[in-house]
Amino acid sequence: MVKEEQRRPVTSDPRVKRELLEAWGQEGGYLDRRALDIEESRNYKVTKANVLIQKTRYSLTLQEQKVILYLISKIGIDDREFQTYEFSIKEFCDICDITPDSSYSYLKEVTKKLRDKSFFVRINDHEEILLSWLSTCRYNRKQGTITLRICEDMRPFLLELKKQFTSYHLINVLSFKSKYSIRLYELMKSYSYLGKMSVGVDELKERLDAQNYINFKDFRVKVLEMAVGEINKYSDIYVTYETVARGRKIVELKFTIEPNDSLGVLAHRIDTLYKH
């Protein structure tokens, strides 16, 4: 079993590190050890096979996504099997910027729902596999800890990935308030090496689990604009898009993906640390 304090980060964002070191010398802005530990955990890397990002449909709430991404970020680059992770519920809530009325009951309910959800991954044109996210969920109210383990069937999509995968720092998605933002960010990140990607509107709705937005105007306002806005404000990529129409109907979206070097992103990350 790997406990929170035993896990070392795979890597961290040097821009954030630089800003944090400068913050140490600012009057009234002294960061304590705990704040730096939080920053370190937020800079663990999430790595997924592209098939999970580009070709798989699943339905998760914002907080369910944050739980599974937090868990994935704990996987070491050389891990050959999944570990069972025990960590403080308070630390998890601080790292993922979750402030529920009752963190223990809240996280227990979130992980229960996550444990009960399954989804299909297409292996090839003729074969699919039904997967679950979690195999173990254990709670200790007295100690305020939670123990989780990723389902073994997820191994080909999360462990020892050598090609066709996407990696990003966990911190890039922690400030998102829309569940669609994480999904769109991962999709854009997986194509960021190309700097662009095109996708049909109906296909994108399916990938984002947003098929209930039949009208494109509603989809654009409530899903697309919100997600793009959060990605550009909080993450390491900057996304713009153009619409392609067939007749009077919008049928395709063309995205441009660029690195986001905005100082506003760094300022937000520094500011969130002082909350803790």
Q: 179-183, 187-191, 257-261: lowest mean pLDDT where?
A: 257-261
Q: What is the pLDDT of residue 35?
A: 73
Predicted confidence band at 6 (pLDDT cuts at 50, 70, 90)? Answer: very low
Q: In the predicted model, is pLDDT for residue 214 greater than 50?
A: yes
Q: What is the pLDDT of residue 73?
A: 95
Predicted confidence band at 108 (pLDDT cuts at 50, 70, 90)? Answer: confident
Predicted confidence band at 103 (pLDDT cuts at 50, 70, 90)? Answer: confident
Q: 25-29, 72-76, 78-82: lowest mean pLDDT where?
A: 25-29
Q: 12-21, 119-128, 257-266: lowest mean pLDDT where?
A: 12-21
Q: Which residue has the higher pLDDT, 64 or 2?
A: 64
The answer to whether the CB of 7 falls within 8 A of the CB of 74 is: yes
What's the pLDDT tens digit per position in 113-171? 999 999 999 888 889 999 999 999 999 989 989 999 999 999 999 999 999 999 999 99
Q: What is the pLDDT of residue 273?
A: 53
Q: In the predicted model, is pLDDT for residue 8 greater than 50?
A: no
Q: Which residue has the higher pLDDT, 240 or 11?
A: 240
Domains defined for the chain, CATH in brackets: 1-174 (1.10.10.10), 176-261 (1.10.10.10)
| Beta-carbon contacts of residue 23 (< 8 Å; ≥ 6 apart) | 29, 31, 270
What's the pLDDT tens digit per position in 46-78? 999 999 999 999 999 999 999 999 999 999 888
What DSSP assignment string belongs to the chain?
A: -EEGGGPPPS---HHHHHHHHHHHTSTT-PPPHHHHHHHHHHTPEEEEEHHHHHS------HHHHHHHHHHHHTS-TT-SSPPEEEEEHHHHHHHTT---SSHHHHHHHHHHHHHH-EEEEE-SSS-EEEEESEEEEEEETTTTEEEEEE-GGGHHHHSS--SSEEEEEGGGTTT--SHHHHHHHHHHHHTTTTTEEEEEHHHHHHHTT-TT--SHHHHIIIIIHHHHHHHHHHSSEEEEEEEEEETTEEEEEEEEEEE---HHHHHHHHHHHHT-
Predicted confidence band at 182 (pLDDT cuts at 50, 70, 90)? Answer: very high
Predicted confidence band at 12 (pLDDT cuts at 50, 70, 90)? Answer: very low
